[in-house]
Structure formats: C-alpha cells, structure tokens
C-alpha cells in the first residue's frame, strides 16, 4: 500500500523485501513470494536483501541476552533501529533510492523553527506505531516516508482491495516475527538452555515461598505459573538475575512512582537540560500518563509519574509525548521504590 500511494503521488518506486530470520524456511519464502506478487501487480522492480546473519547478531542475540539478564526486551524497537532503518535503509540508498518508505502508521514532518524532523502519531490512533520508532535519529528520519500515516486502517484495506493487492484480506499479526507461535520460552530454551536454572521465589522480605525453573519464564506483573499456594494473589514484582531469584508480592506492590531509563534518544528536542513535563507510555498498549522527565546525564533520565504506574518493566521502553509529537524515549533500566 505504501508503494501504491507513492506511485499515485508520482514517485519512481522499487520494492525491497528483507529476509531476516524464521524458524521455518517456508515462512521466509512465503513472505518473499507475497511481496514479489504485490510488486508485480504494481509493476515495480522487486529486490530481496538477505539480512539473516545481521538480524541474528543484532536482534536475536540481543533478545536472548536481555532475557538472560532478567529484562523483558522489545525486539521490534531494536530491529527498527539497527536493521530496517539501519542496514535496509542503507541498502535502499545503495540501490539509488532518495527516500525509504515503510507501511508504519506514523507521520513525519520537518519543523522549520526547530530545524528538526518531527515524528508524530498516526491519524489512526488505534493503529499508531510511533512507540516503536522513537529510536530513530534525525539522519534516519531525513530519508523516511510513511505514506499510511494519514490513513485509517479500514481505508487502507479498502484501497488495497480495490487495487487487488494480495495482503488486503490478510489477518494482522501481533507476534514476534522470529517466533511465529509466540512461544518465546521454548525459543529461549533452545537458544540459551544454560539460563534455565532453578532458583528461589522470594517475597520482599527475602522469605522463600517456592522455587522456579528459570527466571526466563517470568516478566513483571505476571500472576500465572508461580505454583505457590497463597491466601491472596501473588504477582511478579522483580526479577533478580544476579541471584537467580524471582520476587513476588501483592498487586498493590506493582505500583511505581518513578523509574530510571538509559539509551536516551530525542527527536523533537536536541537535549533535555531541565525537568520536562510530558505524557509517558511505559509499553506499547499502555495508556499515556502525566510525568516529569528529569535529566541525569546526556543518556539517562529519571521519570517521575504524577500517578503511580502498574508493572513498570525493565528492558521495555518508555516513550515521551507532547500531544501527537514524539519527544523521544529511553530503555527502562531501574525502578525507584
């Protein structure tokens, strides 16, 4: 659809399909064939870029490493930063492209006053994907086009159907692309079996309540799978990778007033020197919350919430907004109890 809209606008377009990684060879082959069919229908050139090795090194190893350290990573953000808008964009430019377009539901404008490219939420807020793209740099945004950002999902499907594009009726996928069945625990067992070591399940007072079969089975806020008899529901509060322990407690103990985050990337601003009032989102489907971002150094901030937030998860990203504008974001690395 992105290609079709650009063709209508008068651009000279060619298509790139990125082969990254799949558990089954036929999944990659089906993706390539579907993309080629769409390119043929649009009468544009279609090229395939093999990035399997790079994807494995920069996304899958990151995914495994983060989980082994008790974190809950977001591989899609890492892929956008390093692969799609990194290596794939570079390859497009090598092939002579002036711009690099994707089907993400976001908008990008140039602010003449700030002299910066600004990333904005999509017109269709229900499908907005700006959370996943806060990591993009000014250099990457300079070459990025997002033709679907002004359209609603039903408009896209209707237009794709009118054009006879094969993806018009294809169901959406919410799964991690390299884990088609969404069974990340089984995937990690195959990749890093040494990380599945038995350890204690503790309460906040370090009292042992049970045992676990590996910290990689758990994430913050999880209730199921603890295997502990208790007079009240227990939830995962913290994953202590150093001691191979899972800390549990009551639901109200999941509330956090602040967090620290590193790997700060700013889009709407060049830097944050003073506390900044924002709307903050601590994961993709989370409702934005009023917060103050306090700079700690060039790459690290503290985020203080006006209302405590439930299940803040290290390894996930916190993204800052001013209305529709993405200010920037960072990776959550610690909680302040």
Query: Pick the catalytic residue: 76, 79, 108, 135?
Result: 79
d(CA 9, CA 109): 17
Q: Which residues contact 162 (CB under 8 A, 6 or more apart)?
A: none
Report strand pairing: 255-266 vs 276-281: unpaired
Concatenate the DSSP letters of all residues of 236-301 into one string: EEEEETTTTEEEEE-GGGGEEEEEEEEEEEESS-S---S-EEEEEESSTTSPPEEEEEEEEETTEE
Q: Are strands 106-111 and 235-240 parallel, antiparallel or unpaired?
A: unpaired
Whether the Cβ atoms of residue 236 and residue 249 lie closer than 8 Å to each other: no
> Active site includes 79?
yes
List the catalytic residue out of 64, 76, 108, 177: 177
CA 128 to chain CA mean position, Å: 12
Q: Is 64 among the residues known to form the active site?
A: no
> Dihedral angle at the C-alpha atoms of 60, 66, 72, 73, nearest 10 degrees?
-50
Cα dihedral 140→146→149→151 (10° resolution): 180
Question: What are the residue numbers of the active site?
Answer: 79, 177
């Amino acid at each position: 659809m992105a290609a079709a809209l650009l063709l209508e606008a008068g651009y000279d377009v060619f298509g790139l399909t990125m082969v990254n990684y799949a558990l089954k060879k036929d999944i990659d082959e089906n993706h390539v064939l579907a993309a080629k069919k769409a390119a043929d229908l649009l009468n544009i050139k279609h090229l395939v870029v093999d990035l399997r090795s790079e994807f494995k090194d920069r996304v899958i190893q990151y995914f495994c490493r983060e989980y082994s350290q008790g974190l809950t990573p977001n591989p899609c953000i890492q892929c956008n930063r390093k692969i799609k808008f990194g290596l794939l964009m570079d390859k497009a430019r090598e092939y002579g492209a002036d711009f690099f377009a994707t089907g993400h539901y976001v908008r990008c404008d140039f602010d003449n006053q700030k002299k910066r490219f600004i990333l904005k939420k999509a017109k269709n807020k229900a499908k907005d994907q700006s959370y996943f793209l806060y990591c993009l740099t000014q250099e990457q945004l300079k070459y990025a086009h997002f033709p679907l950002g002004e359209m609603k999902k039903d408009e896209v499907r209707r237009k794709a159907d009118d054009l006879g594009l094969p993806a018009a009726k294809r169901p959406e996928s919410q799964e991690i692309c390299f884990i088609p069945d969404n069974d990340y625990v089984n995937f990690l067992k195959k990749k890093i079996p040494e990380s599945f070591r038995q350890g204690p399940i503790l309460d906040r007072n370090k009292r042992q309540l049970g045992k676990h079969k590996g910290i990689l089975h758990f994430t913050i806020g999880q209730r199921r799978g603890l295997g502990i008899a208790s007079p009240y529901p227990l939830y995962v509060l913290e994953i202590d990778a150093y001691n191979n322990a899972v800390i549990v407690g009551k639901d109200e103990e999941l509330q956090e007033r602040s967090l620290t985050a590193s790997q700060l990337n700013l889009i709407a601003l060049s830097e944050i020197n003073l506390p900044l009032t924002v709307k903050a989102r601590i994961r993709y489907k989370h409702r934005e919350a009023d917060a103050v971002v306090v700079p700690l150094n060039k790459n690290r901030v503290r985020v203080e919430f006006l209302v405590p937030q439930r299940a803040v998860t290290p390894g996930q990203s916190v993204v800052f907004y001013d209305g529709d504008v993405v200010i920037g974001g960072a990776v959550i690395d610690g909680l302040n109890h």
